[in-house]
Amino acid sequence: MPYAPDLLLVNANVLTMDPARPRASAVAVAGGRIVGVGDDTAELAGGARARDVLDLKGATLIPGFHDAHNHMIGFGLSVTEIDLRVDSLDELYARVAARAAATPAGEWIVGAGYDQTKTGAHPHRDALDRVAPGHRVWLKHTSSHMCAVNSLVLRDLGIDAAAPHVDGGRVAADAAGRPTGLMEERAQERVGDLTRPYPLALLTDAVATAGETYLREGLTSVTEAGVGGGWVGQSPVELAAYVAAREQGRLHVRAELMVISDAFHALTAHPSDGIEIGIDLGLRTGFGDDWLRLGPMKVFTDGSLVGRTAAMSAPYDGDPGNSGYLQADAGHLARTIIAAHQAGWRVAAHAIGDRAIDLALDAFDAAASRHPRRDPRHRIEHFAAARPDQVARAAALGVIPVGQGRFATEIGDGMLASVGPDRHPWLYRQRSVLDAGVVLPGSSDRPVVTGTPLLGIHDMVNRRTASGAPFNAVEAITAEEALRAYTWGSAYASKAEHVKGSVEVGKLADFAVLSEDPTAVSPDRIAGLEVIATIVDGVLRYSALG
Ligand SMILES: [Zn+2]
């Protein structure tokens, strides 16, 4: 029976990501789904007249970008924070002073993005007291795995004079035992506890604010890497902010939410269910719909490379006593991963250092042999410093490494310095991952670095640091492979490749339109390409088309 498409996209250079039909020039959409892909516009229209026709005048149409690891609410909130991506502590303190001058005394001053490898040192509480004497100051490191606070905050926490021991974290102190203001890993939770939980209305606004930026960048799906607790979550009822945004028509992109392991608790189900831990009602991975869905359990096994807290099997370069640490007891982390697997969750284990990656792979291995499950599709977030044997093992276990291309430019120099030249070949592998037959997703970890997908793709191809040094360049991939990662690969990592990630009949009508074809320009130009339109669910939601 003839049908009338809602929308016909014509004169496009369509990169479908569908190996069976890599290219086309027109796409027909009806009811939010793709109903035709081809070259014959009249045939695609099915003899009927499309309600809308969009002439793309030769622009490149791809499946919408999917960021497989971002912090959407964190990014939405960060818009109001001081930008601390500076090259010196003097500049950092000047920015804090300027904000203090414009902020009523007693209120919080929050900044983010400083990198001690660029400023020379972490901000110190005494200096912060001088530039913001009447305020509470909270400055987040670029990795978000540590922060610096001033004396008022330390006083609120009752740790002004002496540093307490913190499991899975550290309150840094000077030689005399006086806290310096630096709080690492789980110690940050105490600072967060002074301000969180945030009100749902604020979090709902953050979802909307972030989504507006995402549409301008061609993103149509994101995976949120941890809600509901811990130091990365904003509220125990965080999911409700996404539901509210959706009700208000302000959830602009599709969202898959990871639930932080801190929100898990013991459940009393029937013994035959194998559900020992989870969240209430038995909600788990897969619950939801194409707009809003529960994703994996997120568990932090270790910290950050630039911050030198990630768990390595050998010490950091020039730092003989320090090989980082795990965020909790190894046995406890493994049991949590195995129990979540048994209860039907996919698991996303944050593991940066090779010692943490071993822990995650061991746990996935044990989970699979004790509780066999078809295609559990677990993930390792970052997989930052991975030995060659770990790539092979991830492949054998079907575990997906979720790397961040943009880290090369923005924190690559710091990472190279942390691990030293012998371990440079371990960093953020892509080529060896693909060659091992593993699917590679694309992600940013925004707001840790700029989240624009085209910048991520640029770095996945070019692999250079801010100083111009090659960033483990043998792991570079082609623009085609990087585009596929940021679309189909991320859909696969969400176990959603049957509904999105390629331009195929029956899939969701989510597209980005690019000014030029990233696979046809010279690699150094990819970052300069523009997103000229974004379509989600068959609706044009962003357009810079003339
Ligand atoms: Zn993250």
pLDDT tens for 498-533 read: 999 999 999 999 999 999 999 999 999 999 999 999
> Residue 51 C-alpha to ligand 1 middle, in angstroms?
41
> Residue 10 C-alpha to ligand 1 middle, in angstroms?
38
Separation of alpha carbons 91 and 93, rounded Å: 6
pTM: 0.93
Nearest alpha carbon to residue 382 among 307, 323, 314, 332: 307
Instruction: Kindly tell me if the per-residue pLDDT of 73 is higher than 50.
Output: yes
For the stretch 453-496, pLDDT in tens is 999 999 999 999 999 999 999 999 999 999 999 999 999 999 99
> Residue 354 C-alpha to ligand 1 middle, in angstroms?
18
> Residue 275 C-alpha to ligand 1 middle, in angstroms?
27
Average pLDDT over residues 262-282: 95
> Residue 214 C-alpha to ligand 1 middle, in angstroms?
17
> Residue 272 C-alpha to ligand 1 middle, in angstroms?
34
Dihedrals phi, psi of 477, to nearest 5 degrees: -125, 175
User: What is the torsion angle, in degrees rounded to the nearest 10, for the CA atoms of residue 238, residue 301, residue 67 and residue 74?
Assistant: 40
> Residue 70 C-alpha to ligand 1 middle, in angstroms?
6
> Residue 473 C-alpha to ligand 1 middle, in angstroms?
23
Residue 44 has a pLDDT of 86
> Residue 76 C-alpha to ligand 1 middle, in angstroms?
14
> Residue 384 C-alpha to ligand 1 middle, in angstroms?
12
Task: Strands of 230-291 (E only): list them.
Answer: 254-260, 265-266, 277-278
Residue 1 has a pLDDT of 39
Task: Strands of 301-441 (E only): list them.
Answer: 347-351, 379-382, 400-402
> Residue 305 C-alpha to ligand 1 middle, in angstroms?
13
> Residue 330 C-alpha to ligand 1 middle, in angstroms?
21
Residue 230 has a pLDDT of 80
> Residue 374 C-alpha to ligand 1 middle, in angstroms?
27
> Residue 378 C-alpha to ligand 1 middle, in angstroms?
16
Residue 398: pLDDT band (50, 70, 90) is very high
> Residue 443 C-alpha to ligand 1 middle, in angstroms?
10
Residue 2 has a pLDDT of 53
| 515 touches 546 (CB < 8 A) | no
Report CA 50 to chain centroid distance, whole Å. Answer: 38
> Residue 538 C-alpha to ligand 1 middle, in angstroms?
30
Q: Which residues are 221's β-sheet partners?
A: 66, 254
Task: Strands of 291-345 (E only): list them.
Answer: 292-300
SS3 (DSSP) at 171: strand
